[in-house]
Amino acid sequence: MNIYDIKRKANELLVNHDKLFKVLLYIGVIQAIFSAVSTLFDGVVGGIVSLIITILTLTLSHGAIVASLKTVNNMEEYIDEQEDALVGLKKIGHLFPTYFLYDFIIGIISFVIGVIGFIVMMAVSSVSIEQFLQLFTVILNGNTISQAQIVNMTDAFSNVLSIFMLVVCLIVFISVYFSLRFGLFNYILQKYDITGMAALKESSRLMKGNKWTLFKLEFSFFGWMILSAVIAGVIGMILESILPVSFLVTLIESVLTTFVSIYLYEMKLNVCVAVFYEELDYEDKYGNMQSQDEGM
């Protein structure tokens, strides 16, 4: 499957995109309100509020899946901006277990890799700390530091830094891998109402041999993501200089940056991934049937 063909089809589908844009914007505004509310609380209360908001917004993005699938299947006239935008909240009881399971598995895998890497790093850094203390003692006593001691210390800290960077890269790589492997679960959940581990397994099956294509597709929007982040940073600095209230700064900044990111790349990215999924799903069902017919 060619990402250029996927993008070409997405461009054709986005000729009339007003309803999809509004759905994504409504979702972004709701997210912005939740984010702004979280800034009103500090300490333990703030942590509890943030946890509640995280739970409530975990399935919020599902409205984008609903609207994107309707767009790809030429059913844009059936998009209800407000209804589709709120579907993630209205059906949170049905959607939450699958979304939570996805995030939980990705989180656990990353955590395990991080713990292993931390143990290895600590084993190496213990030598570095010992060398550093010896060097510090030499300085306190007013003794001359030899070049060999400096070289040894530099090498030790270089080893620690190398392991740290390796662990970070490994966590990112593994997280991206499993995110791609299970990345179609929400489309499967919406289209076939397959939930929980069954949705993740079905996504894993469909993604065999197709992870690299999805990675290239999503990575092709990386430049737009950077531009969006830069614009968000500029908007944030301007708002902080003229508005003294953090709540208003967070709210207005989130709404404006959401609008910019949707316009620049999010809308097209959502449709591209939906096209990618529908192409895979069609090939999986009708491609296999055609192969069976040819074999008879």
Would you list the DSSP string of the chain? --HHHHHHHHHHHTTS-HHHHHHHHHHHHHHHHHHHHHTT--HHHHHHHHHHHHHHHTTTTHHHHHHHHHHHTT-GGG--HHHHHTHHHHTHHHHHHHHHHHHHHHHHHHHHHHHHHHHHHHHHHHHHHHHHHHHHHHHHTTPPPPHHHHHHHHHHHHHHHHHHHHHHHHHHHHHHHHHHHTTTHHHHHHHH---HHHHHHHHHHHTTTTHHHHHHHHHTTHHHHHHHHHHHHHHHHHHHHH---HHHHHHHHHHHHHHHHIIIIIHHHHHHHHHHHHHHHHIIIIIHHHHHHHH-
Q: What is the pLDDT of residue 176?
A: 93
Q: What is the pLDDT of residue 100?
A: 96
Q: What is the pLDDT of residue 290?
A: 56
Q: What is the pLDDT of residue 166?
A: 83
Q: Report the predicted TM-score, pTM, of the whole model to 2 decimal places.
A: 0.85
Q: What is the pLDDT of residue 49?
A: 87
Q: What is the pLDDT of residue 294?
A: 54
Per-10-residue mean pLDDT for the chain, 296 residues long?
Answer: 90 89 94 86 84 91 96 92 94 95 93 83 63 62 63 67 81 92 96 96 95 94 94 88 82 90 94 96 78 52
Q: What is the pLDDT of residue 124?
A: 65
Q: What is the pLDDT of residue 80?
A: 93
